[in-house]
Amino acid sequence: MPYVVSCDVGTGGTKAVLVDVKDSQVVGKAFAGYEVHHPQPHWAEQDPEDWWHAVGHSTKHLLESTAVAPKDITCLTFCTQMLGIVPVGHDGSLLHPAIIWLDARAEEQARRTMRRLLGPKVFALVAGCAATGKDVLPKWLWLKEHKPELYARTLYFLDVGGYLLNRCTGRMVSDWTSASGTGLFGLKSKKWDDLLFRLFSAPRAKMPPLVRPDEQVGPLTREAASDLGLLAGTPVVAGAGDVPAAAVGSGAVGVGEGHASIGTSGWVGVISAGAPTGKSGIAAIQSADPRNCLLVAETETAGACRDWITCCFFPKGNTEQESHRLTVLLDEEVKSVPPGAEGLIFTPWLCGERSPVADVSVRSSFVNLSIHHRRAHFLRAVYEGVAYNLRWIIEILDGKFGFPLQTLRVVGGGARSLPWMQILSDVTGKRIEVVAHPQEAGAVGAACIAAVGLGIYPDFEALKNVVQVTYRCEPRPDHAGTYDTLFRQFKQVYARLKPVYDRLNTVGLTGQWQ
């Protein structure tokens, strides 16, 4: 059987998934967690050694639990968090903790970068959205200014996938999808864009060579094979960033087809045949399919909002069984409240936002709270608030890009909640389709990318019929009026409270609070 070990290296841990790529079925999975470190307000770092140890631990446990022999593994590949930077020296040694996607320390560098193009409005017209301290280029500039000796010793700025591929094969590379997340990759040329590097004084010489997502980077070295419990010489395929990999894992691989993810963060993605300029916080990046691009609108906290409200009201489950029972309890409480949560609105911006509004200062709020609201109302308002945010994104994709999505494939842990999927359908007015393994969609997608690269499938279009849908729901017309009204007010909350968020959280940037 064509088994692929696909490692989904996320923010909270690594999930090693064994995929039978003949039918995209998950044969087994294993997880190993690690920490995010916040040494200062707005900073978010991880130790790349933790990623590597998690990949090794989870891969070994995966093979043990499935009783699959290392000789039966066709290849190893990765799906990784994007927008992080890992400075490495000439021998591949780590020079600094990874500055991950959640880190917003480089806000001043982002503002100066935009001034090179006459300010945020002009910059957004060129780049698709205003730069923030969470973007890659400002993070590079922050290191150059604050740690010049380290910057000078850096051979390459790798991303998460690049670091792991180097540990596996000894090669320092960046796959096209992750490179495109920097904003300095030519979507047409499929090369680093030298003009943009000069324009923004970015470190062109410190960027690694590029590889296609479906390209074999090299054989697994003996040292890496020992760490991972695999055979030396096992092919290692580059894989992709988490968003492009999940797009493949959703099965929405055709031009004009869209998917949404509700994981810790969330996004809506649509496949585009061209390379459109981004707008309204929606970026165009490289799709895993080399022929196409992917329009992506990322929301910083989606499933994280449910995690937060759950921690406020319930003790955390320590086992998968306990977590499942808690999910069932949440869903039952949400269903006990009528659509609209009796006027209670939640804005899902716990860590600032990228899309539908690019604003690092914005925060979450409960609006219109009254004495009769109870725990279940708060829970439902959180589910609905995430759905309103996604509807806002979908409106932009239709109005400004011409993609009138009628069906949305949904992946991520949030897709396991069927009441949440019905709320999403009702709020957006779209048909919702949930795939067979929503929480493993990124890993499944990376495995399918590898299968194309290995010739198991002739092209990405062939993957359309491989990914299975297990649940569908249609919007209920009798709830449309309630949600239309509340959605309009949801957008007004941002417009009215933006000055308040700005005043409160600009103070926070001085270190008084996070």
Q: Are residues 371 and 503 in the same domain?
A: yes
How far is residue 284's CA from residue 355's CA, in Å, rounded to a whole number?
A: 13
Q: Does residue 451 fall inside a structural domain? A: no
Q: Are residues 91 and 214 in the same domain?
A: yes
Q: Domain limits at 418?
A: 303-427+475-507
Here the CATH number for the domain that contains residue 328 is 3.30.420.40
Q: 196, 212, 238: which is the final residue of a domain?
A: 238
Q: Are residues 231 and 328 in the same domain?
A: no
- The total number of structural domains that make up the chain: 2
Q: Are residues 224 and 364 in the same domain?
A: no
Q: Does residue 486 fall inside a structural domain? A: yes
Q: Are residues 103 and 219 in the same domain?
A: yes
Sorted by sequence, the CB contacts under 8 Å of residue 156 that are 6+ apart come out as: 87, 88, 162, 172, 206, 207, 208
Q: Does residue 265 fall inside a structural domain? A: no
Q: Are residues 64 and 179 in the same domain?
A: yes
Q: What pLDDT score was predicted for residue 122?
A: 65
Q: Does residue 69 fall inside a structural domain? A: yes
Q: What pLDDT score was predicted for residue 121?
A: 67
Sorted by sequence, the CB contacts under 8 Å of residue 288 that are 6+ apart come out as: 177, 213, 214, 240, 244, 245, 247, 248, 445, 449, 460
Angle between helices 418-428 and 320-335 (to 10 degrees): 40
Q: Are residues 312 and 193 in the same domain?
A: no
User: Please, are residues 249 and 77 in contact by the beta-carbon 8 Å criterion?
Assistant: no
Q: What pLDDT score was predicted for residue 510?
A: 46
Q: Are residues 230 and 365 in the same domain?
A: no
Q: Does residue 289 fall inside a structural domain? A: no
DSSP of 356-412: SS-BSS---EEES--TT--HHHHHHHHHHHHHHHHHHHHHHHHHHH----SEEEEES
Q: Are residues 212 and 346 in the same domain?
A: no
Tell me the three-class secondary structure of 247-259, residue by residue.
HHHHCCCCCCCEE
Q: Are residues 209 and 71 in the same domain?
A: yes
Q: Are residues 15 and 94 in the same domain?
A: yes
Indicate yes or no: pTM above 0.75: yes
Q: 222, 238, 254: which is the final residue of a domain?
A: 238
Q: What pLDDT score was predicted for residue 9?
A: 97
Angle between helices 107-115 and 136-146 (to 10 degrees): 110
pLDDT tens, residue order, the chain (514 aa): 689 999 999 988 999 999 998 888 899 999 999 999 999 988 999 999 999 999 999 999 999 999 999 999 999 999 999 999 999 999 889 999 999 988 989 999 998 888 877 776 667 666 656 778 888 999 999 999 999 999 999 999 999 999 999 999 999 999 999 999 998 899 999 999 998 888 888 888 999 999 999 999 999 999 999 999 999 999 999 999 999 999 999 999 999 999 999 988 899 999 999 877 767 778 889 999 999 999 999 898 999 999 999 989 887 666 667 777 888 899 999 999 999 999 999 999 998 888 898 787 899 999 999 999 999 999 999 999 999 999 999 999 999 899 989 999 999 999 999 999 999 999 999 999 999 999 999 999 999 999 999 999 999 988 988 898 999 999 999 999 999 999 999 999 999 999 999 999 874 444 454 5
Q: What pLDDT score was predicted for residue 127?
A: 61
Taking the CA of residue 346 as centre, how many other CA atoms within 13 Å lie in the half-sphere pointing to its CB? Answer: 24
Copy the structure tokens of residue 90: 């000439």
Q: Are residues 169 and 307 in the same domain?
A: no
Q: Does residue 324 fall inside a structural domain? A: yes
Q: Does residue 161 fall inside a structural domain? A: yes
Q: What is the CA radius of gyration of the chain?
A: 22
